Structure 1
Amino acid sequence: MTLTKPRKELWGGVLEFEDLEPGTYTAEAEAWNTDENILEGSGSTKITVKAGETTDCTIKMILEGIFYSKYMLIPDYRGWITYAYDYSTCTEKKIWSTNSNSPQYSHFAESNDGSIYCTILTNNKYNVHNYSFATSNDKTDFIITKTNTGFFDGYYDSTTDIYWLVRNANGNLYLYKKNVEGASEEEYNIGITQNSFGDCAIRGENLYYSFYSDYGDSIGYAKFDYTSGNPAEVKAEKTLSDFKTLSGFDGSGEINDIAVLEDGRVAIIVRDTNTSSTNDNTTKTVIYNYTVTDGGTVNSRGALLILSSDLSKVEKVLGWSGERTISATGSSSDYNVQWDKITAYIPEYEDRNSHFYGPVKIVAIRPKELVIADCGANFVLPDYNEKKNGKMFTHNRLMTVDLRNFAISCKKEFTEDEIKFQNLAVSGNLTVTSSGTNGWSDGDEK
């Protein structure tokens, strides 16, 4: 095999393979930015090699996409804090925080040039701030003077370089836009009416949105003219109930975030954190607290769903944990037993770096990779023989999903002193007691 470069200005080359057996081959090529470890282009082609003949082929590589997150925008529920972590070094770059007397920070979004947009409510006006790491002073780029009721959030579309403000008011979605050419305060009623909206994602003429329906959390989309904001077509809803027939997706949950990938597919993260009591046979959705009963069911899991651009097909479901039983260990005959076992939809400890405990937000989008903030808990019940209490172990992690091979891995785990994505606690102690017996030690995660 030899490699030559025909011209200095042409980044390509000629590869020659000798002594290939006759047959059909697939030739694949990739172009990498080695400084950033970014795949910038790729392509493949089929080649048929015949005996005694030379076969030539040209591989056309397709641009993987111009946008990739340089930072990971990580939320901390305490005090409306958002951290910007450098993607490559995984080190803290900057912190934005507020308190009850300061403006309320809303959705953060990174633009093509690495600036950070954020919508802030100040004196009944919504200001779009542009934060730059290159300068010490942040600036206000865009002010919405509307004082109508309704919640604003911001979403950046890298394909059009437009930062959209989405207002949810009285069951309707309205759009405003901020782009490099300026800003418009004109309201665009997108023509969608729902009782309860969640998250949005925008790419070109497609607006994806989640909402709560009779089926539970659902997702739909609308087409609109992004140059004017005028609605073109509203698509029928797609509900999570449609996905339950998919092998391996056998649960429910809440849609926590939506993103559009460079190839137009839609990524959704679903978080399922709840408990079901054996006493009343009801399910309680628990965000900030786990209420666990002996013999009950505990969920701390989630999944990444990858859908086709028209939402008609679920292509992948990743990171979802199935049912298992967490039991107390050892003999309990001499103790006043508070815990025997619980049914858990929680990753096995050995699966902790390949499954989700409870995905919260997509914090970075890279070519062929997503970074997801994941938060949840694992439970260990008492060990009677070793006189160890049970314990709830909380996890705040950054998980990466490789969109080439769909492998999930843990990029970084935080202590709760560093970052806390959700406030997790357990009602009741995971302990056993015996008269006159004190000094139990905590159980170990396993």
Structure 2
Amino acid sequence: MTKPRKELWGGVIEFGDLEPGKYTATAEAWNLAENILEGSGSTEITVRAGETTDCNITMILEGQTAYYSKYMILTDYLNTKYIYDYPSCNKSSKSVSFGTSYNTVEDNNGQIYHIEGSNLYKDDDYVLQISNASNLIKNPLYYDSKTNTYWIGLEKSILFYLQNSENSYNTSFNRNLNASKGESFLNFAVQENKVYLIYIEKDDPIANIIYFTKDENVKLTEQKRIQLSTIGVSGKVTDMAVLEDGTVAVLVRSVGVGTETEGFDSMLLNDKDTVYSRGALVLLSSDLSTYKVYGWTDSPRTISAKLNSGSDDPYNGAPGNSQIASITAYIPDYAERNSHFYGPMRIVAIRPKELVIADCGANFVLADYKEHRQGKMFTHNRLMTVNLRNFAIGCKKEFNEDELKFQNLSISGNIAVSTDGDWSNKYVDEK
């Protein structure tokens, strides 16, 4: 491959000496006077012999005009909310009285909007009263950083509010969903003239996305629908956002015992159950025509788990006890634990070059009776990062459950097999 080629300004850049094959083209926009990287982007291309290959690179802004989350609003399973500073990943000195508020969003000035009862607040200041607040959808509040405006979503309509407007102007539109199928809204996201709504049908937990365009009168025109099940993920949608470049980011969470939506809150594990603890970040183009899936575990692992009556063979069962049956678990391989999701819940920070995602689930490891080591379920409450230039996934912070616990993760069963004597309290802490 040829050496990287640098240009002082944008335009058409040509390479005439590339061998056939696959390449990654990366572009960066620099403010040379101040030596500041203002934007970057990359794309994959395939060069074929005797053919000219064109590619356009969309850059992600990295300057002061782009949206920056200054904080991360984290909620533990007791519904207590904490504000963490983005750079340090420690609890912030910023104070907001959340009470029973939910669905917090942050604007570009670091002010936090949240809903409590029928009221919208900015930090601790009252902003406006929400009409028909009892009909709010699951994630009713969304901030559009492009236009510095807020949307509040109701089950039967979407109300549009202008930020800091004393006499809040609003409008609504019909859902155009099929009531006979039990369709309902879960999430939505807005960027300028584009609106994306996520809905489900009764008895079908995997969601669908509708893409609308809106005019100056906030009239919406449906453009396209897509079923997430057709792109190879399953479970339930927990969050969505429109990124600076128009990409639609959707989180899918698949966590449960025998089901992908119930979680691990005091679930009973049986040897015939399938255990799920996985998830995905799905990035779709603004018109929903293309997509990529990141962090998803597609293949299962076989986990030794439940004691049945049977053998005293020390290679297959605990001495004097029984043989170990197995369960099927859709979880990341242990070696993939920091590059895959256990159960993404919420996008807690958006930066021009990074997403931070609250991720919560469990990793199961095999019991090793030949080496006298037990199996164990390891819980994970952590912040994962996704680099928006190369889409690498990493772990920003792993929380001890005494510090922060996004979900209650507990299963009744014999994952950690109890035995006596030399076999007690010995766990497999890695694969």
Q: Tell me whether the two structures share a fold, i.e. TM-score over 0.5.
A: yes
Q: 1:410 aligns with which of 387, 395, 405?
A: 395
Please provide the CA RMSD for this pair: 3.4
Whether 1:395 aligns to 2:387 is no
Partner in structure 2 of residue 41 of structure 1: 39
Whether 1:374 aligns to 2:359 is yes
1:319 counterpart letter in structure 2: G
Give the Å deviation of 1:208: 1.2
1:91 counterpart letter in structure 2: N
Q: 2:208 aligns with which of 219, 222, 226?
A: 219
Q: 1:260 aligns with which of 242, 248, 257?
A: 242
Give the 3 Å change call, closer, same or farther, for CA 237–439 of structure 1 in structure 2. Answer: same
Distance of 1:61 and 1:185 partners within structure 2: 34
Q: Report if aligned partners of 2:60, 2:352 keep a CA contact under 8 Å in 1.
A: no
Give the Å deviation of 1:384: 3.1
Give the Å deviation of 1:180: 4.1
Q: Report if aligned partners of 1:391, 1:442 keep a CA contact under 8 Å in 2.
A: no
Q: 1:179 aligns with which of 156, 163, 168?
A: 163
Give the 3 Å change call, closer, same or farther, for CA 429–63 of structure 1 in structure 2. Answer: closer
SS of the residue aligned with 2:287? coil
Distance of 1:302 and 1:76 partners within structure 2: 19
1:217 counterpart letter in structure 2: I
Distance of 1:62 and 1:349 partners within structure 2: 32
Q: Report if aligned partners of 1:210, 1:217 keep a CA contact under 8 Å in 2.
A: no
Give the Å deviation of 1:420: 0.9
Give the Å deviation of 1:191: 3.5
Q: Report if aligned partners of 1:191, 1:234 keep a CA contact under 8 Å in 2.
A: no
Partner in structure 2 of residue 69 of structure 1: 69
Partner in structure 2 of residue 270 of structure 1: 252
Partner in structure 1 of residue 280 of structure 2: 303
Give the Å deviation of 1:313: 1.8
Give the Å deviation of 1:204: 1.1
Give the 3 Å change call, closer, same or farther, for CA 384–309 of structure 1 in structure 2. Answer: same
Higher mean alpha-carbon deviation, 299-308 vs 377-386, is at 377-386
Q: 1:158 aligns with which of 145, 149, 157?
A: 145
1:87-236 to 2 correspondence within 5 Å?
87-93=86-92, 94=94, 104-121=100-117, 126-131=118-123, 138-144=124-130, 146-147=131-132, 149-151=134-136, 153-168=140-155, 172-184=156-168, 186-193=170-177, 195-213=183-201, 216-225=205-214, 227-229=216-218, 231-236=219-224
Distance of 1:262 and 1:318 partners within structure 2: 19
Q: 1:238 aligns with which of 210, 226, 232?
A: 226
Distance of 1:40 and 1:431 partners within structure 2: 51
1:165 counterpart letter in structure 2: I
1:353 counterpart letter in structure 2: N
Distance of 1:211 and 1:27 partners within structure 2: 36
Q: Report if aligned partners of 1:175, 1:190 keep a CA contact under 8 Å in 2.
A: no
- TM-score if structure 1 supplies the norm length? 0.75
Give the 3 Å change call, closer, same or farther, for CA 432–391 of structure 1 in structure 2. Answer: closer
Distance of 1:111 and 1:338 partners within structure 2: 57
Which structure carries more relative contact order (alpha carbon 8 Å, separation 6+)? 2
Whether 1:320 aligns to 2:281 is no
1:420-431 to 2 correspondence within 5 Å?
420-431=405-416
Partner in structure 2 of residue 29 of structure 1: 28
Distance of 2:167 and 2:39 partners within structure 1: 33
Q: Report if aligned partners of 1:240, 1:252 keep a CA contact under 8 Å in 2.
A: yes
Distance of 1:38 and 1:292 partners within structure 2: 54
Distance of 1:174 and 1:60 partners within structure 2: 31
SS of the residue aligned with 1:149? helix
| Offset from partner CA, 1:275-294 (integer Å, 9 cap, x none) | 23xxxxxx474223443222
Partner in structure 1 of residue 311 of structure 2: none
Distance of 1:364 and 1:284 partners within structure 2: 25
SS of the residue aligned with 1:241? helix
SS of the residue aligned with 1:350? helix
Give the Å deviation of 1:179: 1.6
- Which structure is larger by alpha-carbon Rg, 1 or 2? 1
Partner in structure 2 of residue 292 of structure 1: 269
1:364 counterpart letter in structure 2: A
Distance of 2:373 and 2:95 partners within structure 1: 40
Give the Å deviation of 1:182: 4.1
Give the Å deviation of 1:400: 0.5
Q: Report if aligned partners of 2:357, 2:385 keep a CA contact under 8 Å in 1.
A: yes
Q: Report if aligned partners of 2:260, 2:276 keep a CA contact under 8 Å in 1.
A: no
